[in-house]
Amino acid sequence: MVRSRDRSRRRPAYRRRPNEFYWLWIAATATYGVGDVVSTVAFLRYVPTIEEANPVVRFALESFGLSGLVALKIAVYLVMLWISVEGAREGDGLLYYFPPVLLTATGTYLTASNVRLLWLS
């Protein structure tokens, strides 16, 4: 098999390695989407004396409640997914891998931070 150097003719990474693509985004969903949202909700419910530190998230929560938090998370997630898919189509490995890895790392950190604060309070 001859590999094409022309990136426009190659199949995107998510088509060549679909399991990799799915697992990258499953990890991002589990940590950023589920872990952070659940731990934030638990934190806000069980420790009402401490407020959300992120001003954007605080605004979404104050303006729209929990649905604002979920909508904000979904919007960020979809933008990052779009960047990843476009990166795969362009053959740009950084743009393909960076969004799900960033969301996974961020979600892991935020979930751990929220759980730690819950534990300490």
Q: What is the pLDDT of residues 22-47, one digit of tens each?
A: 999 999 999 999 999 999 999 888 88
Number of separate domains in the chain:
1
Q: Return the exposure string of 70-106: e unless at least 16 CB atoms fall within 10 Å of the residue's CB, then b.
A: eebbeebbeebbebbbebbbebbeebbbebbeebbeb
Residue 73 covered by a domain: yes
- Whether residue 84 is contained in a domain is answered as yes
Torsion angles phi and psi, residue 57, rounded to 5: -65, -40
First to last CA, the chain: 60
Q: What is the mean pLDDT of residues 10-16?
A: 76
* pLDDT tens-place string over residues 41-94: 998 888 888 888 899 999 999 999 999 999 999 999 999 999 999 999 998 999
Tell me whether residue 12 is in a domain. no
Give me the domain span that covers residue 58. Answer: 17-120
User: Does residue 11 belong to any structural domain of this protein?
Assistant: no
Contact status, residue 121 vs residue 50, Cβ threshold 8 Å: yes
Contacts (Cβ under 8 Å, ≥6 apart) of 70: 37
Is 32 within a domain? Answer: yes
Is residue 40 assigned to a domain?
A: yes
